[in-house]
Amino acid sequence: MYRAARVLLRSDADAEDAVSEATLRAWRDFGRLRDQGALKSWLIKIAVNCAYEHRRRSARVTYTDDLEPLTGSAEDKQNFVLWDMVCRLPEDYRVATVLYYYEDMTTAEIAKALGVREGTVRSRLARARRRLRTLLEEE
């Protein structure tokens, strides 16, 4: 839930707030969940919706607390570079990429969580991979 919110919001604090709100809403509405097998995508969808709401409410606030780490291994730096490039993707591609590669959700689960067709998710992932490949080649 955190990663889904964090990819939409530019601050760790904002993502934490969105996840907190999502957790509260999920707890309150848990009885309305019909399919227990869809719990993960249901939670992600709530977190994404809370992140969108939070972003609308605080559109003009800029945070500087999420600066690049100054120390770490080469692998950490590679992961940071890749994460930075994922964050540069257009929002639709970014959300699909994070849910698929970082949250290990299937394309069907992502489609359900985002309210789009599964083919749309697949095309967004393909376009995101092409865009990431281009960004990595430019680096």
pTM (2 decimals)?
A: 0.56
Count CB-CB contacts under 10 A for residue 128.
22
> Tell me: the pLDDT tens digits for 78-126?
667 788 888 889 989 999 998 898 888 899 989 988 889 999 999 999 9
DSSP 8-state code for residue 9: S
Distances (CA, A) of 51 to 2, 31, 56, 61, 118: 10, 23, 9, 14, 22
Average pLDDT, the chain: 83
Q: How far is CA 69 from the centre of its chain?
A: 21
Count CB-CB contacts under 10 A for residue 70.
5
- pLDDT greater than 50 at residue 70: no
Q: How far is CA 130 from the centre of its chain?
A: 19
| Selected residue with higher pLDDT from 112 and 58 | 112
- pLDDT greater than 90 at residue 130: yes
